[in-house]
Amino acid sequence: MIDRTLNYVFGHSDFKTLGGSRTDAKVSANSFIFELFLKAPLADEASFLENFNLNLPADIRGLSIEKTDAEFNIIQTPKTKEYLYLFSFGQKAHPFSAPFVSTFPEQLNIDTMMRGAKLFEGEHEFRAYCKKPGDDTVTRRTIALCEIIPNTFYTANFFPSPSYALRISGKGFMRNQIRLIMGQLVRLGRNEVDLNFIAQSLTPAFDEHLSFVAPASGLILNEVNH
């Protein structure tokens, strides 16, 4: 959609865009970055951004624009990504909240889930937390922060109360990694697994298939810092 809008704004397709990250379908993004390659500099960056926003669909908004040099690469530039996974449990939520908050109908042990989330912090072997990793996939990753806290990030009068947020940040995440982490934390809250299982799942010797992937609709790419 961004490329289609740029094509209309420029009146040509002689440009290239490169996204700084990717998400699954139905995942929201509060912050996203992409690199725009042009053959000539923009005459007026502020006017371009205004025109770009006027022609973008209602669910996309350009926030800022910054000039880079020819050596800059948005993929290779070090950056930290913060994701939120919003959820509630033990109730049937208002349907309007469905695109943003995942609701698990059973009662969950939230205190144990909070303890379990902290086990994911640091450098671990996350091969079990990647959907179909390839032979060249780097599965040993570092998570800077992983916590479950009350949701004060996004609110609406139709959101379930209380709601919670899994807050997780790091330099990069593999396919389905965060949704698999959330899935195991839900299993922990159901007492299907224990804290020792979570710890063991982060070791090279762990070979069990983790099948429960939490729904995509609760996940938000909240911040990208570079």
132 or 28: which leads in pLDDT: 28
158 φ/ψ angles, rounded to the nearest 5 degrees: -100, 0
DSSP lists the bridge partners of residue 165 as 86, 149
Cα–Cα distances (Å) from 209 to 117, 127, 130, 178, 201, in that order, read 19, 10, 10, 16, 10
* pLDDT (0 to 100) of residue 21: 77
One-letter identity of residue 188 = L
Indicate if the pLDDT at residue 216 is higher than 70.
yes
Provide CB contacts within 8 A for 120, sequence distance 6+.
143, 146, 168, 181, 198, 202
Share of the chain above pLDDT 70, in %: 100
* pLDDT (0 to 100) of residue 78: 67
Indicate if the pLDDT at residue 132 is higher than 90.
no
Say how far apart CA 11 and CA 170 lie, in whole Å: 38
Round the average pLDDT of the chain to a whole number and report it: 94
73-84: pLDDT as tens digits? 888 776 799 999
Say how far apart CA 160 and CA 86 lie, in whole Å: 10
Choice among 27-41, 99-113, 176-190 with the minimum mean pLDDT = 27-41
Count of C-beta atoms within a 10 Å radius of residue 165: 22
Choice among 71-80, 164-173, 198-207 with the minimum mean pLDDT = 71-80
Q: What would the mean pLDDT of 193-215 be, rounded to a whole number? A: 96
DSSP lists the bridge partners of residue 220 as 28, 84
Which stretches of the chain are assigned E, i.e. beta strand? 16-19, 28-29, 34-37, 80-89, 102-104, 122-125, 140-150, 164-170, 219-225
Question: What are the tokens at 156?
Answer: 């609406």
Say how far apart CA 194 and CA 61 lie, in whole Å: 42
Q: What would the mean pLDDT of 185-199 be, rounded to a whole number? A: 98
pTM to 2 decimals?
Answer: 0.91
DSSP string of 115-137? HHHHTT-EEEE-GGGSSS--TT-
Say how far apart CA 130 and CA 123 lie, in whole Å: 15
